[in-house]
Amino acid sequence: MRIDVLTLFPKMFEGPMGESIIGKARDKNLLEINISNFRDFADNKHKTVDDYPYGGGAGMLLKVQPIYDNLKAIEAKAPTVKKRVILLDPAGKKFDQSIAEEFAQEEHLVFICGHYEGYDERIRSLVTDEISLGDYVLTGGELGAMVMIDATVRLLPDVLGNETSAQTDSHSTGLLEHPQYTRPAEFAGMKVPEVLMNGNHKLIESWQLKESLRRTYLRRPDMLIKFPLTKEMEKMLAEIKQEEKK
Ligand SMILES: Nc1nonc1C(=O)NC1CCNCC1
């Protein structure tokens, strides 16, 4: 996968996109990330990328031209590859695991990071997607782009090195992940549930499913409404509702 990011602050990406799992994936050539500063493409001598809004109003808007020419330069390097050009915008579709899974299937992702008050509206004609990190306002789109890249890249083959962990994550299965424990068996008086210590895989799987259902029921009932429950799950959920009443 190739990822291009258009930003005014390239240095923001050095840490998060250079360390740990993403950094190792780049070292292993599992993906290529190119960060470009669209200020470099501004066609005026002062390299300005923003201007006052027509009709007045607070703040400055990002001009189209620098971003347009930056996109053209990216296109020139990879003309045949199908691209998803993603505009980071609080008015966009809210990012979630299903979008990460969709992006992970793509060959080439291009992220445009907003700044200032917003974009010249004509920038929207250049993009395929408008995606929001969430219902809040950030100082720029950079952190949103990094979160989306992180959530997407970890789904690529061989990036995690343990594919099952991506497939069983919260939000990947449609339920929240069950509680997990590691050594020691007891810490500060808190013991690991006995069922996990006895090695009976069928009992363990049943416990894990029930605890996923419990956690989802208690924390994210909105996810449960959408989940296709089996008869076994419906029985477990009925037990959970009784248990949680006490
Ligand atoms: N939420 C968001 N998801 O993507 N971008 C988001 C965002 O808040 N962008 C800011 C909007 C105001 N101007 C600076 C950028």
The residue range of the domain holding 189 is 173-244
Among 154, 188, 204, give the residue marking a domain's end: 154
Q: Are residues 128 and 199 in the same domain?
A: no
Q: Are residues 55 and 84 in the same domain?
A: yes
Q: Are residues 37 and 133 in the same domain?
A: yes
Q: Percentage of the chain surpassing pLDDT 70?
A: 98
Q: Which residues are CB-neighbours of 123 under 8 A, at least 6 positions away? A: 62, 64, 67, 68, 87, 112
3-state secondary structure of 163: helix
Concerning whether 154 is annotated as a catalytic residue, the answer is yes
Q: Are residues 185 and 126 in the same domain?
A: no
What is the CA(107)–ligand 1 centre distance, in A?
Answer: 25
Whether 164 maps to a domain, the answer reads no
Domain count, the chain: 2
202-230 pLDDT tens trace: 999 999 999 999 999 999 999 999 999 99
132-181 pLDDT tens trace: 999 999 999 999 999 999 999 999 999 997 655 677 777 878 999 999 99
Q: Are residues 129 and 186 in the same domain?
A: no
What is the CA(173)–ligand 1 centre distance, in A?
Answer: 29
Concerning whether 117 is annotated as a catalytic residue, the answer is yes
Which CATH number goes with the domain that contains 58? 3.40.1280.10
Q: Are 163 and 30 in contact (CB under 8 A)?
A: no
Q: Are residues 138 and 56 in the same domain?
A: yes
Q: Are residues 142 and 180 in the same domain?
A: no
Going by C-alpha positions, the residue among 86, 91, 87, 85 that lies closest to residue 136 is 91
- Any ligand 1 atom below 6 A from CB of 58: no
pTM of structure = 0.93
Q: Are residues 20 and 142 in the same domain?
A: yes
Which CATH number goes with the domain that contains 235? 1.10.1270.20
What is the CA(8)–ligand 1 centre distance, in A?
Answer: 14
Q: Are residues 121 and 18 in the same domain?
A: yes
